[in-house]
Amino acid sequence: MKILIKKGRVIDPKSGLDEIMDVYVNGGIVEKLEKNIRERGDEAEVIDASSLIVAPGLIDVHVHLREPGFEWKESIKTGTAAAVKGGFTTVVCMANTDPVNDNKSVTEYIVKKAKHEGSCRVFPCGAITKGLKGEELAEIGEMYEAGIVAVSDDGKSVRNAGLLRRAMEYTKLFDIPVLAHCEDEDLSNGFVNESGSSVISGLDAVPSIAEEIIVKRDMALAEYVWSSLHLTHMSAKGSIDAIRQTKKGYRKITCDTCPHYFTLTDAATLAFDTNAKVNPPLRTREDVEAIKEGLKDGTIDIIATDHAPHELTSKDVEFNIAASGISGLETALGLSLTLVNEGVLDMAGLLRKFTENPATALKLPYGELSLGGPADITIFDPDAEWTVDKTGFVSKGKNTPFHGWKLRGKNRVTIVDGKILYRDKGL
Amino acid sequence: MNWTKKDLLGIRELSKEEILLVIDTAASFKDISRREVKKVPTLRGKTVITLFYEPSTRTRTSFEIAAKRLSADTINISSSTSSYVKGETLKDTARNLESMRPDVTVVRHNMPGAPHMLSKILDSSIVNGGDGAHEHPTQALLDLYTMREKKGRIDGLKVVIIGDIAHSRVARSNIFTLSHFDTEIVCAGPPTMMPPYLEDLGVKVEYDINKAVRNADVIMMLRIQKERGGISFIPSTREYSTYYGLKAEHVKKAKKDVIIMHPGPMNRGIEITDEVADGPYSVILDQVENGVAVRMAILYLLIGGEV
């Protein structure tokens, strides 16, 4: 398939390119990247990208595709369809499936299924410990051979620091990071952030130090054994402050946050809206500002979605027993472009957190738009205004606290490996 | 003013005028319970369901008596007899009950927000009979009624709430109620039972009850919410009673005409001594009597038509 993208504003954060150019894609490769590529009357599909931004395909280092085991919540097919709709060309899926992705047969299953049914590139994240139980190491080497790009017991922290140390040492053999969910179990018997909101709602609450303490522990461990650590879904000011400080002396640490952590506060839980129930919980205005500051000064490298689709029933119950999580792939770009509109980041700076930085952190050969490079491309309209409608989600998970929100910025075309895998009706 | 709300979910949703409307209406109903024939036809033909997922003696009985004195039909459902144990969701249970056309459903649930969830999906009225550690609006209204009845005013009162504030819906609803008035609210208890950010609600936090009770007009005692894990917040109930059990010596430090309140059930010998519970300052049984009047008022305002 040949594609000619005309007159778009081509931004490649890695090379610093930011110009109106044409892009010619042939056979999965960016074959030409120059001004005024002439249509040669060949069979190339022409996309008029004037007033649109042409960027490297977005990468999401934290999604839950729910397959195998929870196909009623999401599948590799529907989850990756949601990804390309949202502008993502690569996703990293977490290991809390059933069976858990803690051995190569599950990794192989996911990789194979994604190849056949997936719309975008899928890289599994393997479990750190068998069954996510925090007791013994999973066979990380075999999973690595099968295609994992990181290990994580996402959903909880590895409680035993000695065991986590072993995992951090062992992963050095494969040069993959430990991706850490940071939550002190003993401090986190609750469902919302401990704050002025929880004191009103009476909901059992988790203090932000439950995250901060494990962030500090995990960074200390990583530095001690000189291992790569990626801290995921950061939500608290204390965590960001600690990461900023540690990064000054130790460079093998990266972290991500999610759109809901710089968009919503825990006030959203006052009406007991279970769509605002997420782990870690939504925090205070002060935390939101700290997250934005961290994005701005580079403390936070990456924006991920923590796409956590759930069926209606698991959210349509009392707050305490409702499932945690937000279906985030289809709103991430629109919500994140607010950061550009607010002046927190410039466009290249925002895109870097979706492309170059996640690719670097997980050592993926994507995240850039360069001559001769892979044709993973996202074309979006930064000014298009649209209203979030969960009923129109292609993800099976309609669980979003953003239903009805007006957003500015919408994905138009997603090209994965040189093929158009999503095209917005509005184009 | 008229009552316009479909439900009574919490005090926090109410204006000062609405709060006063409830207790003024309650005052006009109190007399009914003291008549020889304790029944008026006001809610004849109406149906009130009490749907209780937590144990209750006082509140459920109080609602039932309130409804019956207004001639409504009442049906009581408690968790052991509902489909909850068979795995039916709260939402489905409520929808099924609504199909039988009740006018009011009083819900008590161990999880905050359960009545709020139901109010969104049901057309009939919901009354929050206590939701987890969140709110217990009718308790706070009957407490306010009792304070006004005994003190003749609310403004200017110093109200001290002592005990497991963190897990207490009674404390929260009382704080929300009293905040509408010119009151001094002090919460006292062990630091583990004082939730962080409590001061945000406009209350003073005190750990030493000897200091807290000084010049108090109202002392409200709370029990330890064992069912919400309250017991793990203190070393032992014995030690708790040493520091936080209300004794005669504390009462002496309060105003001479102090009233002692307790929403019940009391744990005698733990948060309150027999001497105080049964003493001359105690209005605990008045609270229970007033509870019926306040609940009659709520049912009347919700489904009784124009005031």
Supply the pTM of this predicted model: 0.94
CA nearest B175 in A: which residue? A200
CATH 2.30.40.10 segments of chain A? 2-54+373-383+404-423
AA identity, residue A160: N
The 10 Å Cβ neighbour count of residue A426 is: 10
Q: In a mutagenesis test of the A interface, which of B51, B79, B92, B111 is the best target, namely the one with the most A β-carbons within 10 Å? A: B111
Q: What is the pLDDT of residues B204-238, one digit of tens each?
A: 999 999 999 999 999 999 999 888 777 789 999 99
C-alpha span between B23 and B20 (Å, rounded): 5
C-alpha span between A365 and A362 (Å, rounded): 9
Indicate which residues of A carry an active-site annotation.
306
Question: In the predicted model, is pLDDT for residue B307 greater than 50?
Answer: no
Question: What 3-state class would DSSP assign to B218?
Answer: strand
Residues of B in contact with A196 (CB under 8 A): 197, 200
A271 interfaces chain B, CB cutoff of 8 Å:
yes
Contact B91 A316 (CB under 8 A): yes
Query: From the CA of A193, how many Å to the nearest CA of chain B?
Result: 11
| Angstrom distances, CA of residue B293 to CA of A405, B29, B36, B47, B300 | 45, 6, 16, 18, 10
| Angstrom distances, CA of residue A396 to CA of A89, A308, A342, A411 | 19, 10, 31, 19
Contact B195 A316 (CB under 8 A): no
Q: What is the CATH number of domain A57-361?
A: 3.20.20.140
A316 interfaces chain B, CB cutoff of 8 Å:
yes
CA nearest B228 in A: which residue? A204
User: How do A419-423 and A406-416 pair as beta strands?
Assistant: antiparallel
Q: What is the pLDDT of residues B40-98, one digit of tens each?
A: 999 999 999 999 998 888 999 999 999 999 999 999 998 765 566 668 889 999 999 99
Question: In the predicted model, is pLDDT for residue B306 greater than 70?
Answer: no
Query: What is the full DSSP assignment across B57-103?
Result: SHHHHHHHHHHHHTT-EEEEEEGGGSGGGGT--HHHHHHHHHHT--S
Q: How many contacts does A have with B, using Cβ atoms within 8 A?
A: 62
Q: Where are the alpha helices (DSSP H) in chain B?
A: 16-30, 58-69, 90-99, 114-121, 137-151, 169-178, 209-212, 237-244, 248-253, 274-277, 284-303
Q: What is the pLDDT of residues B26-37, one digit of tens each?
A: 999 999 999 999
* Distance from the Cα of residue A37 to its chain's centroid: 34
With b for 16 or more beta-carbon neighbours within 10 A and e for fewer, the A74-112 pattern comes to bbbbbbbbbbbbbbbbbbbbbbbbeebbbbbebbbbbbe
CA dihedral for B11, B12, B17, B18, sign (positive or negative): negative
| Angstrom distances, CA of residue A382 to CA of A255, A270, A301, A350, A415 | 25, 32, 21, 12, 17
Query: From the CA of B64, how many Å to the nearest CA of chain A?
Result: 25
Contact A203 B132 (CB under 8 A): yes
As a whole number of Å, the end-to-end CA separation of chain B is: 8
Contact B195 A317 (CB under 8 A): no
Q: What is the pLDDT of residues B153-187, one digit of tens each?
A: 999 999 999 999 999 999 999 999 999 999 999 99
Contact A199 B197 (CB under 8 A): yes
Report yes or no: A25 and A377 within 8 Å, Cβ to Cβ.
yes
* Nearest Cβ partner for A202 among B117, B134, B196: B134
What domains can you pick out in chain B, each with its CATH number? 11-135+288-303 (3.40.50.1370), 137-283 (3.40.50.1370)
Contact A272 B91 (CB under 8 A): no
* Nearest Cβ partner for A202 among B89, B169, B200: B169
Contact A320 B172 (CB under 8 A): no
Report DSSP state, residue A343: T
Domain A2-54+373-383+404-423: state its class. mainly beta
Report yes or no: B186 and B179 within 8 Å, Cβ to Cβ.
no
Contact A202 B114 (CB under 8 A): no
C-alpha span between B110 and B134 (Å, rounded): 9
C-alpha span between B32 and A419 (Å, rounded): 79
Q: What is the pLDDT of residues B101-132, one digit of tens each?
A: 999 999 999 999 999 999 999 999 999 999 99
C-alpha span between A55 and A354 (Å, rounded): 10
- What is the pLDDT of chain B when averaged over all its residues? 94
Residues of A in contact with B131 (CB under 8 A): 202
The 10 Å Cβ neighbour count of residue A237 is: 20
As a whole number of Å, the end-to-end CA separation of chain A is: 20
C-alpha span between A128 and A171 (Å, rounded): 10
Angle at CA of residue B76, ends B94 and B137, nearest 5° = 75
Contact B111 A318 (CB under 8 A): yes
A320 interfaces chain B, CB cutoff of 8 Å:
yes
ipTM for the complex shown: 0.93
A110 interfaces chain B, CB cutoff of 8 Å:
no
Query: From the CA of B29, how many Å to the nearest CA of chain A?
Result: 31
Q: In a structure prediction context, what are the per-residue pLDDT tens digits for chain A, which is 427 residues long?
A: 899 999 999 999 999 999 999 999 999 999 999 999 987 777 899 999 999 999 999 999 999 999 999 999 999 999 999 999 999 999 999 999 999 999 999 999 999 999 999 999 999 999 999 999 999 999 999 999 999 999 999 999 999 999 999 999 999 999 999 999 999 999 999 999 999 999 999 999 999 999 999 999 999 999 999 999 999 999 999 999 999 999 999 999 999 999 999 999 999 999 999 999 999 999 999 999 999 999 999 999 999 999 999 999 999 999 999 999 999 999 999 999 999 999 999 999 999 999 999 999 999 999 999 999 999 999 999 999 999 999 999 999 999 999 999 999 999 999 999 999 999 987 6
Residues of B in contact with A202 (CB under 8 A): 112, 131-135, 169, 172
Q: In a mutagenesis test of the B interface, which of A204, A313, A318 is the best target, namely the one with the most B β-carbons within 10 Å? A: A318
CA nearest A197 in B: which residue? B197
C-alpha span between A250 and A260 (Å, rounded): 28
User: What pLDDT is attached to residue A401?
Assistant: 98
Contact A203 B169 (CB under 8 A): no
User: Considering only CA atoms, which of A359, A354, A361 is closest in space to residue A411?
Assistant: A354
CATH 3.20.20.140 segments of chain A? 57-361
AA identity, residue A403: H
Omega into A99 within 30° of 0, i.e. cis?
yes
Query: From the CA of B12, how many Å to the nearest CA of chain A?
Result: 9
- What are the beta bridge partners of residue A326? A307
* Nearest Cβ partner for A199 among B109, B113, B201: B201
Q: List the 192-231 stretch of A: residues with Cβ below 8 A of B.
A: 194-196, 198-205, 207
CA max distance for chain B: 55
